[in-house]
Structure 1
């Protein structure tokens, strides 16, 4: 049975609301399987509502072009991040406590948590399913604008720990005002809405979800890797300063036989 698009849109919004709460409040450790299952469910609902694979950005004929556009954009992110982490003025923006301390942990975040637990669902929902369902009643541009705004609202809950985890970045998103959870949420809405617009432009230009998925993965995964590097250097520097302040260990001169006889 075919779903009416308003019904499908309501179902999609319900699924996204539930997943946002699960991934950020009730079951964050299960974010990867939750997001994978939710992505498949959203696609199934959209297909039942009559959207085509091309409408969703999932046409196989456009995937190679999407990969090409995404690779170029991701390369630009990598260069920008490398320069930002190298410059003293911008390096604090990468000192994020949400990055894992160990190499296996950071690789899991970059290669599993980000692409499967974050990017897959967000790009499927906000650059694929929602625009396809909203297009009939709001036009192409209207559907894209609404989806970008919803993408910004989606980030209210994930932004809650930003002031503690990365004060420098939180201050940037709040335009220099002292960071707080409320201000961080507002900053997250604004910045991710703009980011959603950027992903949408790449989706429109390439005709494929592969392109914004590649760019989104680069933003988040490379951000984690840069944070791990910056945090590691800072930790080594703190240890070096601590050893320098403590001074060299007290030397112990071996006792001679005469010393031992005196005792």
Structure 2
């Protein structure tokens, strides 16, 4: 038990360091590298604490099931984006001032490298794999670990949420509301999303399931925003 507590403490401290480095210190090109290193360290901590691969959602025996559930979720996200593209009133929500520029190379870098490695891989390993298991959940659905890991997932978004006022959808909803309010709502929304993604992880029996949903949402959102802005 003491080893599990030590691993949990180390994992939380590691994530605090990682988000600080990624959002405040490291250059943009190092973001995926930071994600890869942190994810690997988290898996190492989980294994050191005695957790099995199944407990952190990395059991190869369930890889096919996780992939199928992930693809189903990806399809739902793709359908949602498709509907948004054909409804003129919804297209404006993709006007995101956080887009670096409209160069194809920049968009592909963000959608195919930065997000998959720096965001999706790390966050799914951390918040749908390692942390719920260290909190006592693992491959079982238990509300304590689910809510704990999801709350930490919300707090993980504090620093990124400080740039949300550049997003047209956020501005349309909140207007001139304070950044504190916008950030607080973003943290709460991320916590709720964490619960949903954990449901996908448990239903699919692996982190690949929520990872595909997460990838479709983030990378898909970037690609759709680029398409809307470049065709405006």
- TM-score tier by shorter-chain length is over 0.9
Question: Does the CA-based 8 Å contact 1:62-1:207 persist in structure 2?
Answer: yes
- The runs of at least 4 aligned residues of structure 1 exceeding 3 Å deviation read none
Question: Does the CA-based 8 Å contact 1:92-1:168 persist in structure 2?
Answer: yes
TM-score (norm 2): 0.93
Distance in 2, matches of 1:67 and 1:15, equals 28
1:182 matched to 2:184? The reply is no
Is there any run of 5+ residues in structure 1 with no aligned partner, and where? 235-263
- 1:129 shift after superposition: 0.4
Work out which of the two has the higher radius of gyration on C-alpha atoms and give 1 or 2.
Answer: 1
Distance in 1, matches of 2:168 and 2:39, equals 32
Q: Deviation per CA, 1:168-197, whole angstroms, max 9, x where unpaired?
A: 23443xxx4534321221121121111111
Question: Does the CA-based 8 Å contact 1:170-1:184 persist in structure 2?
Answer: no
Is there any run of 5+ residues in structure 2 with no aligned partner, and where? none
* Paired residues for 1:1-263 under 5 Å: 4-29=3-28, 30-99=30-99, 100-135=101-136, 140-163=142-165, 165-172=166-173, 176=174, 178-234=176-232
Q: Which moved more, 1:77-86 or 1:53-62?
A: 77-86
Distance in 2, matches of 1:214 and 1:108, equals 18
Question: Does the CA-based 8 Å contact 2:94-2:168 persist in structure 1?
Answer: no
- Partner of 1:187, secondary structure, is helix
Question: Does the CA-based 8 Å contact 2:57-2:129 persist in structure 1?
Answer: yes
